[in-house]
C-alpha cells in the first residue's frame, strides 16, 4: 500500500486540546517539514504539517523567578500554541494562533517547560527568552 504526500492521521492532532497529554514528560509529535534553529534563548523556526507536543526548553528555577518571552507567531493553517508546563504539571497558554507580543511569567521553583503544541499546522515562530541567573535554560534536541 502506498501513502500519498500530505498529512498522516496518526492521532497527534488530538493532543492539542488535552492538558493531560500536553503536560506529559514525553513528547509525541511529527512534522512534514521543519527548518530553523533553537538555542538556549532563541527559537526561529518554520514548519509544515506539525501535530503533537514538542518540548522546546526546560527551565530549571532554583527559586521563584520571572521570565520574559517575546514572541511573533504566524499560523498559516491548523492550530498552534505555546504552552508553559509548571513543576506541578499545570498547562498555561502563553500564546495561541497568529500573534505577537511580550509575556511575563513568574516561574515556580523547580522544572518548568515550554512546549509547542500543534494540530495539522503550518507557520513560523520567533521567540526570545530573557531570564535572570536563577533560571537555567536548556534546549531539547529537535
**pLDDT of 28-71, one tens digit each?**
899 999 999 999 999 999 999 999 999 999 999 999 999 999 99
CA–CA gap between residue 101 and residue 69 (Å, rounded)? 8
CA–CA gap between residue 133 and residue 115 (Å, rounded)? 22
19 versus 9: the higher-pLDDT residue is 19
Residue 8 has pLDDT above 60, yes or no: no
Contact 116, 53 (CB under 8 A): yes
Contact 56, 139 (CB under 8 A): yes
43 Cβ contact partners less than 8 Å away, ≥ 6 residues apart: 36, 37, 56, 125, 126, 127
CA–CA gap between residue 38 and residue 59 (Å, rounded)? 14
CA–CA gap between residue 46 and residue 35 (Å, rounded)? 5
**pLDDT of 106-135, one tens digit each?**
999 999 999 999 999 999 999 999 999 999
Q: What is the pTM of this model?
A: 0.89
Amino acid at each position: 500500500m502506498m501513502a500519498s504526500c500530505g498529512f498522516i492521521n496518526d492521532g497527534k492532532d488530538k493532543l492539542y486540546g488535552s492538558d493531560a497529554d500536553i503536560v506529559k514528560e514525553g513528547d509525541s509529535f511529527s512534522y512534514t517539514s521543519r527548518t530553523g534553529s533553537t538555542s538556549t534563548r532563541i527559537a526561529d523556526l518554520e514548519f509544515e504539517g506539525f501535530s503533537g507536543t514538542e518540548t522546546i526548553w526546560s527551565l530549571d528555577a532554583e527559586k521563584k523567578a520571572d521570565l520574559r518571552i517575546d514572541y511573533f507567531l504566524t499560523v498559516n493553517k491548523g492550530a498552534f500554541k505555546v504552552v508553559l508546563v509548571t513543576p506541578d504539571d499545570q498547562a498555561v497558554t502563553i500564546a495561541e494562533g497568529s500573534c505577537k507580543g511580550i509575556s511575563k511569567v513568574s516561574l515556580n521553583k523547580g522544572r518548568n517547560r515550554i512546549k509547542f503544541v500543534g494540530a495539522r499546522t503550518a507557520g513560523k515562530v520567533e521567540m526570545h527568552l530573557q531570564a535572570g541567573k536563577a533560571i537555567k535554560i536548556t534546549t531539547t534536541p529537535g
